Amino acid sequence: MINLTNIEKVYRTSSIETLALNNINLNIRKGEFVSIMGPSGCGKSTLLNIMGLLDEPSKGTVELDGQRVSTYRDKELARLRNEKIGFIFQSFHLINDLSVVDNVEIPLLYRSTNGKPRQTYAKEALEKVGLSNRIKHFPKQLSGGQKQRVAIARAIVGQPEIILADEPTGNLDSAMGNEIMNILQTLNNEGATIIMVTHDENMAKRTHRLIRLFDGTQVQ
Amino acid sequence: MLTNYIKIAWKVLLRHPFYTFITLFGISLTLTVLMVLTSFLDHLFGSHYPETKRDRSLYIMQMRTQDSTRTGSSSGPMSFKFLTEYAKSLKTAERVTICTFVNSSNAYVGSQKIKLNTKYTDADFWEVAEFEFLEGKPYNEQNIANSDQVVVITDDFKKHYFGKTEASVIGKDVEIENLHYRVIGVVKGSPVTRPFTYADVYYPYTTPKSNYQRTGMRGGYVAILLAKKKSDLKAVQDEFQNNIRRIPLPGVEDGYKFAYVEVKSEPYVENFTGTLLNGNKGIKTIFFGVIAFILFMLMGLPAINLVNVNVSRIMERASEIGIRKAFGAPVRTLMWQFIIENIFITFIGGGIALILTLVIIQLINSSGMIAYADLTINVNVFLVSLLVCLVFGLLSGVLPALRMSKLKIAEALKS
């Protein structure tokens, strides 16, 4: 499903060059639940960003469903992200000015889905994460766990094949973290391919495969 | 999608009330100035009472004679005789009126002096201009042929001369410059900004002191040529120019030997600017250049300021941009989002400006600064204002949107 070959990522400033990822080769199969672990600054999020087409590698190729995306232009990359990938972030990244349901609708806005069905899909997604009673609320009125569930609803509303989660439980207590993990496992059981960055060994144990990074290099 | 954009724009406005106040204050002040200016220009040049047929009228304001070397010239209004011969005879025009510009006179009510402006006109004047008669009727060809000492006065003059009376003053006597006239009609006055029709008292040209019998080409008269329809204006102009070409050259006028004569019949705006700038193309270019520069400064500077505010506001929303891009928003769609948001904000400013403009226009109209001022926000003014809002919104929205489009998603999400 996702195939990374000889991925290298270098961050350059005028005086410093930092190698964030070095020679990463990775193949994620359809339906897998993969976790990525490693110390802070080892390149986990960078790797996730490259897989999610949020960032470009300095070298190497990224293939999504057999298509090399390096030559894709902004519009095509946007379409791929919109249709195939859903993102869950550690700090939720909800738009505070929009209500819960409006936040969840965002991916559908860029598919030209009409207003009524868009709202129906958003409500269904919220129901799936147990937040159907909070649709008119605003992010600031929600707890951390609730915010992350909204973020999950937003990630799944467009029924993407891949869900990329960057430390989805990082800002939550263990009980809430477990709840979020249960939702992710349910989604995986329903067929979604999930790649999750985590610091938590216990969470990682619940996934099919663990990838370890150290200083930008894959060690496991 | 649009609702979503507007929701966000509204929330962003509410997020920082002071910022919003400054932004809207800037926009609405600029647009108010532009709207009042547009309204004033429309008041000056548009087809308004009583010159409601301006769109199919040509104005003859002055003649210009030059010597054979074209180094010396003389210009000014024309004689009644000249205009009768060269303008009144036009076959392509529906009607031609000959009248003077305003002349100053005095009238006395007891010991109180009333300063007034008078105008000598022919009977066609009342057909070319569409005055509203509050009392009586205009003088006609018969009154003129009989040299009747009759006048049409304005409601304002009636108030000053006869006092605040509801009673009709038709048939009553007015004394102006020691001459007695019988009031034949009372009209709602024309604003001072419409010099071809403005006056307090209108006399038939055959009344005393009109100098209508003056021989020669120069005098104190001007003319308005009314075409049957707008598309006839060119034909009327051509016929008039053909008539002018018939003037025998060289000639002598009051001892001045001239070899060239120029008399133009032009639509009101051209006539106005042409006369103002004496037909000199260089000065005209500078004049319009200065106007364009002022307009640019009026719109450009606040737009640049708004660009600045918008750029910092957009950067504040980097995270939102990152989120939208991550979930599939192409750069172009996001650019449109920010441009639409900006236009929305500009239109709010436009709405405020519209209210402010209405208040200012009302103040100008009722202040008496311009007698009979009738500044309005009509469809033209409104459409120009709408266009200005749109241009302003685009001007100040495109650059921030371009700046935003360069944001990398991963970096935007970190902010």
Positive or negative, the Cα torsion across A120, A126, A128, A132? negative
Closest by CA to A69, choosing from A90, A45, A53, is A53
Share above pLDDT 90 across residues of chain A, in percent, rounded to a whole number: 64
Q: Which residue of B has its CA nearest to A73?
A: B330
Do β-strands B57-60 and B221-227 pair in parallel, antiparallel, or remain unpaired? antiparallel
- The β-bridge partners of B118 are B103, B201
| Cβ of residue A95 closer than 8 Å to a chain B Cβ | yes
Q: What is the largest CA-CA distance in chain A?
A: 53
pLDDT value, residue B256: 85
Contact B1 A109 (CB under 8 A): yes
pLDDT value, residue A5: 94
The SS3 of residue A145 is helix
Do β-strands A59-64 and A2-12 pair in parallel, antiparallel, or remain unpaired? antiparallel
Residues of A in contact with B337 (CB under 8 A): none
* b (16+ CB within 10 A) / e for B327-338: bbbbbebbbbbb
For the stretch B97-133, pLDDT in tens is 999 999 999 999 888 899 999 999 999 999 999 999 9
Contact by Cβ (8 Å): B138, B123 = yes
**Which domains can be identified in chain A, with CATH numbers?**
31-57+74-218 (3.40.50.300)
Rounded to the nearest angstrom, the minimum Cα separation between B300 and chain A is 31
For the stretch B363-406, pLDDT in tens is 988 888 877 888 888 777 777 777 877 787 777 777 777 877 77
| Cβ of residue B341 closer than 8 Å to a chain A Cβ | no
For the stretch B31-83, pLDDT in tens is 888 888 888 888 889 899 999 999 999 999 999 999 988 888 889 999 999 99
| Cβ of residue B44 closer than 8 Å to a chain A Cβ | no
What DSSP designation does B91 have?
A: S
Rounded to the nearest angstrom, the minimum Cα separation between B303 and chain A is 26
User: Is A7 a residue whose pLDDT tops 80?
Assistant: yes
Contact A97 B413 (CB under 8 A): no
Helices (H), B163-280: 233-245, 268-276
For the stretch A27-77, pLDDT in tens is 999 999 999 999 988 999 999 999 999 999 999 999 998 889 888 888 899
Among A54, A74, A94, the residue with its CB nearest the CB of B326 is A54
Among A97, A98, A106, the residue with its CB nearest the CB of B327 is A106
Q: Please state, in angstroms and rounded to a whole number, the distance separating the CA atoms of residues B21 and B19.
A: 5
Q: Please state, in angstroms and rounded to a whole number, the distance separating the CA atoms of residues A97 and A127.
A: 22
- The β-bridge partners of B185 are B136, B152
| Cβ of residue B11 closer than 8 Å to a chain A Cβ | yes
Rounded to the nearest angstrom, the minimum Cα separation between A44 and chain B is 13
Q: Please state, in angstroms and rounded to a whole number, the distance separating the CA atoms of residues B321 and B118.
A: 68
* Reported confidence tier of residue B281, pLDDT bands at 50, 70, 90: low
Q: Which residue of A has its CA nearest to B415?
A: A93
Rounded to the nearest angstrom, the minimum Cα separation between A210 and chain B is 24
Which helix (H) or strand (E) segment is B214 a member of?
none
Look at the block and give the residue holding tokens 């926009």. B27
pLDDT value, residue B277: 63
Q: Please state, in angstroms and rounded to a whole number, the distance separating the CA atoms of residues B157 and B150.
A: 15
Name every residue whose Cβ is closer than 8 Å to that of residue A77 and which is 6 or more positions away in sequence: A53, A69
**For the whole model, what pTM was predicted?**
0.69
Share above pLDDT 70 across residues of chain A, in percent, rounded to a whole number: 100
| Cβ of residue B323 closer than 8 Å to a chain A Cβ | yes
Chain centroid to CA A153: 12
Among B322, B331, B410, the residue with its CB nearest the CB of A74 is B331
Between positions 67 and 86 of A, the ones with CB within 8 A of B are 74-75, 78-79, 81-83
Contact B4 A93 (CB under 8 A): no
Q: Please state, in angstroms and rounded to a whole number, the distance separating the CA atoms of residues B181 and B126.
A: 19
User: Is B338 a residue whose pLDDT tops 60?
Assistant: yes
For the stretch A157-206, pLDDT in tens is 999 999 999 999 888 888 888 888 998 999 999 999 999 999 889 899 99
Question: Is the ipTM above a cut-off of 0.90?
Answer: yes
The token pair that represents B74 in the structure block: 């003389």
Q: Which residue has the higher pLDDT, A148 or B310?
A: A148
| Cβ of residue A54 closer than 8 Å to a chain B Cβ | yes
Interface A-B: count of C-beta contacts within 8 A: 74
| Cβ of residue B16 closer than 8 Å to a chain A Cβ | no
For the stretch B246-261, pLDDT in tens is 999 898 888 888 999 9
The SS3 of residue B216 is coil
Contact B330 A74 (CB under 8 A): yes
The SS3 of residue B93 is strand
Q: Where are the domains of chain B?
A: 2-48+284-414, 68-258
